[in-house]
Structure 1
Amino acid sequence: MLRELRRRWGSYKYRFVPWLALNLRRQRRTLRYVPESSQDKIIADEDVFETLLKTFKALFINDFSRQADILALLPEVKCQYLELLTVEQKRSKVNSCNHQGTVYRKHEPIFFQSLGNPFIFRCIDGVLIDGNDKGLSRSVFRSCSRRDQLGPFQMSDESWLTATPQNPLAVGQYVNNCSHEKAANVCYQEFDVPRHFPVELKQYLPNIVYSHDVESHLRCVVLVTLRDIKQGEELFSNYYTVVS
């Protein structure tokens, strides 16, 4: 019993704000600092939008089965943008995180989904993204996705819940936390999908909003490389961002 409680606390404590604040001061953490939330951008939102648009159009038109085929069609997508299309999952000694999933605003219920769930991403403004592909989280995502279907058009990508995702950019679950020995080479960047995003391409977005009580943009979190990534190199991000 105590062992199970300890395991669950180990999964939950990184979302318990008092514990996190106390331990950030006590322990030698790798932290990422930004002067203010509006400056938490490595590249412009316009560049993120254009990259997603070109990639999703390539998927929609050609129905590629191999990620390398998409790269061949997108020579203008530079490394410093979103060129994480050939990520391979391998064993790592570091816990991984996940950025795709159900998007919750601060006031929306997520307690039961959060139990034993290490895959919840907290945005700077308090928005939460539950990237767990199992249990209650999986059921909620599928329910919301099918709720929002518009005729023949899917409004989100459910395939990231399976072993064969149709969107090769849905790779957040493979990226691990950096350390003082292994510096971050990619960075999370929050991105709100504009309302004029083509409806036929939304089937490749691996995020869905929990409710529509308040009209808002769909929050996504993209990964942007901080430098050139060599073949076979493991990706590391930074789980702790401090806004000054």
Structure 2
Amino acid sequence: MLRALRRRWDAYKYRFVPWLALNLRRKRRTLRYVPESSQDKIISDEDVFETLLKVFKALFINDFSRHAHILALLPEIKCKYLELLTVEQKRSKVNSCNHQSQHVFSPEEVLLNTLGFAVSRDRSSLVSAGTGVFVTKGFVPKGTVVSMYPGTVYRKHEPIFFQSLGNPFIFRCIDGVLIDGNDKGLSRSVYRFFHWSLKDTTHYVGGLNALFKVSSRCWSACTPPNSSVVLSPRSCSRRDQLGPFQMSDESWLTAALQNPLAVGQYVNNCSHEKAANVCYQEFDVPGYFPVELKQYLPNIVYSHDIESHLRCVVLVALRDIKQGEELFSNYYTVVG
């Protein structure tokens, strides 16, 4: 009984303001200080964007055969990635020009081949810390995006009380935006099941101009002839499907990750013995992010009542990190 209460308190205390105020001075080694919010970024947004683009393109090319039936109807996108696939095949010394015969790597292998390292979840080196994240292969240079913090994104006015109960995976951004990275319980259900939207069974023809974003707000205007639209319970992630393309990644809720970077919620807090080697950095996904690559973004907004850029949080290496090292972050950033 007491042990169970202690576990719950250990999970909750980091969101209990009086406890935080009393312990700030005592835990200086586990705090990160920045003079102002504008100086919170370790690397530029352009560097984050280019890294995500590089990894997601590599994942898309690796999955090329799986997307073949869609790309056959989208010649503009197919042409762009066929060129990249040809270059990749030459680099891998694959003699066949047929993309259907390409060697398919695991997502972890794609990450290793693209950025030079792989990360995965395993038992933490900290006693009683549960799961942690390790660099399993390769080498992480300082200033590299090493993982992403997945989950549902909530604005300050949106309901998260019940999801927050007993939930140690809620990340608070500097502007008050919250990201719920819990892959279990109610949080998992919110990400996957709670939103009703329209399921479009249209046949997509004529390239990108034939793609219809079907949502509960505009289905009557967007529904083309000769298509069937049925109401069904859908997840937040599938609510925003654009034609055949998913707008976010659900695989972080499972053991089989499509995006191998989506493990950031399991990075443990640093301690007096284990200094932080990564830090959190907020990143707003720009509107021009390639639509076909959004399927690898492990975040989705809770509600689309207000149009805004999708908030993501990446973890950036504070120093060079070697193979076998566990990732540790600062759970607290003090601004000002």
Question: In 1, Cα distance between the equivalents of 2:97 and 2:174?
Answer: 16
Residues 52 and 95 (structure 1), Cα distance of their counterparts in 2 relative to 1, 3 Å cut: same
Please state how far the C-alpha of 1:9 moved relative to its aligned partner: 3.3
Question: In 2, Cα distance between the equivalents of 1:82 and 1:175?
Answer: 36
Question: In 2, Cα distance between the equivalents of 1:54 and 1:195?
Answer: 17
Question: In 2, Cα distance between the equivalents of 1:44 and 1:88?
Answer: 28
| Deviation sequence 1:181-229 (CA, Å, 0-9, x none) | 2111111111000011111100000000000121111111101111111
Q: Report if aligned partners of 1:185, 1:225 keep a CA contact under 8 Å in 2.
A: yes
- Runs of 4 or more, structure 1, over 2 Å off, are 1-10, 16-19, 25-29, 63-101
Please state how far the C-alpha of 1:85 moved relative to its aligned partner: 21
Matched, 1:104 2:159: no
Please state how far the C-alpha of 1:25 moved relative to its aligned partner: 3.8
Please state how far the C-alpha of 1:137 moved relative to its aligned partner: 0.2
Residues 226 and 56 (structure 1), Cα distance of their counterparts in 2 relative to 1, 3 Å cut: same
Q: Report if aligned partners of 1:154, 1:203 keep a CA contact under 8 Å in 2.
A: yes
Stretch moving more, 95-104 or 233-242:
95-104
Q: 2:181 is matched with which residue? A: 131
Residues 176 and 186 (structure 1), Cα distance of their counterparts in 2 relative to 1, 3 Å cut: same
SS at match of 1:90: helix
Residues 63 and 94 (structure 1), Cα distance of their counterparts in 2 relative to 1, 3 Å cut: closer
Report the structure, 1 or 2, having the larger strand content.
2
Stretch moving more, 228-237 or 112-121:
228-237
Give the alignment's Cα RMSD to 1 decimal. Answer: 10.7
Q: Report if aligned partners of 2:269, 2:330 keep a CA contact under 8 Å in 1.
A: yes
Question: In 2, Cα distance between the equivalents of 1:117 and 1:15?
Answer: 10
| Deviation sequence 1:24-65 (CA, Å, 0-9, x none) | 245555210001001101100001001101110110011299
Please state how far the C-alpha of 1:90 moved relative to its aligned partner: 36
Q: TM-score, normalised by structure 2?
A: 0.59
- CA radius of gyration, larger in: 2
Question: In 2, Cα distance between the equivalents of 1:2 and 1:145?
Answer: 39
Q: Report if aligned partners of 1:96, 1:177 keep a CA contact under 8 Å in 2.
A: no
Question: In 1, Cα distance between the equivalents of 2:160 and 2:38?
Answer: 26
Please state how far the C-alpha of 1:147 moved relative to its aligned partner: 1.2
Q: Report if aligned partners of 1:42, 1:224 keep a CA contact under 8 Å in 2.
A: yes
| Deviation sequence 1:163-189 (CA, Å, 0-9, x none) | 011001112034211122211111111
Matched, 1:166 2:216: no
Q: 2:133 is matched with which residue? A: none
Question: In 1, Cα distance between the equivalents of 2:320 and 2:64?
Answer: 25
Residues 230 and 32 (structure 1), Cα distance of their counterparts in 2 relative to 1, 3 Å cut: same
SS at match of 2:84: coil
Please state how far the C-alpha of 1:82 moved relative to its aligned partner: 26
Residues 212 and 77 (structure 1), Cα distance of their counterparts in 2 relative to 1, 3 Å cut: closer
Identical-residue share of aligned pairs (%): 93
Residues 86 and 107 (structure 1), Cα distance of their counterparts in 2 relative to 1, 3 Å cut: farther
Question: In 1, Cα distance between the equivalents of 2:173 and 2:99?
Answer: 10
Stretch moving more, 10-19 or 80-89:
80-89
